[in-house]
Amino acid sequence: MAPVFLSAVLVFTALFDSSQAALDNKGTDFILTFPENLQRRQTNPKLFIACPHPSGATVEITLPSTRHNERVRVTYGQVTKVELERLEVELRGSKKSDSCKSVHITSDVEIVVYGVFAEGASSDAYLALPTDGLGTEYFVSCTSVVRNFNSEGFGDVPSEFGIVGVHDGTTVTIVPSQALTFDGQNYAAGQAFSVGLHRFETLQV
């Protein structure tokens, strides 16, 4: 059986209104990203969108990096698949992205969104949370997989997580539980560092 490596995706917001109704995974506004898949077979990441409303949904998918916009109709009782261009949305390296690698999804009624990034021996998937259900503190569970993948051009497989800005002027503070390198700088376990993000900007650790 081929090994499966899961990446953690972290969507960050600077503000959270606790006065809202009960939180769930349905919403009309989503901002997300796709962490790096270390396999390079050029498979594109995909969105899977479902609508719980009998009337269905009209969904707009925008890639802020290129301003590419696509409108899809999501039918009640069916799942709509949307393929994204890998180079426009995949995070690369341990750094803040040079361009916004985010995906902005809006809908006229509440929808449910899943992200899937599947390669031959590396399948990543997550349930996206709407922007009105986000908070300001997250824990990412990580492990390192020690295995040699010379044919793919890399050795030990590191853990990774991605962050996308939901509001302008957001300060993200990261406290690693083990040593890491970010943007060419080494950080020891417990050594906090901060990165500024505007809306749609992305980073990966």
Instruction: Give the angle 153-6-172 at the CA atoms, nearest 5°.
Output: 95
**pLDDT single digits (tens) 153-165:** 666 677 889 999 9
Over residues 145-195, the pLDDT tens digits come to: 666 666 656 666 778 899 999 999 999 999 999 999 999 999 999 999 999
CA distance 201 to 14: 13
Task: Report pLDDT for 124.
Answer: 87
pTM for the whole structure: 0.84
What are the b/e assignments for 102-129, b being 16+ CB within 10 Å?
bbbbbbebebbbbbebbbeebbbbbebb
Q: What is the pLDDT of residues 73-118, one digit of tens each?
A: 999 999 999 999 999 999 999 999 999 999 999 999 999 999 999 9
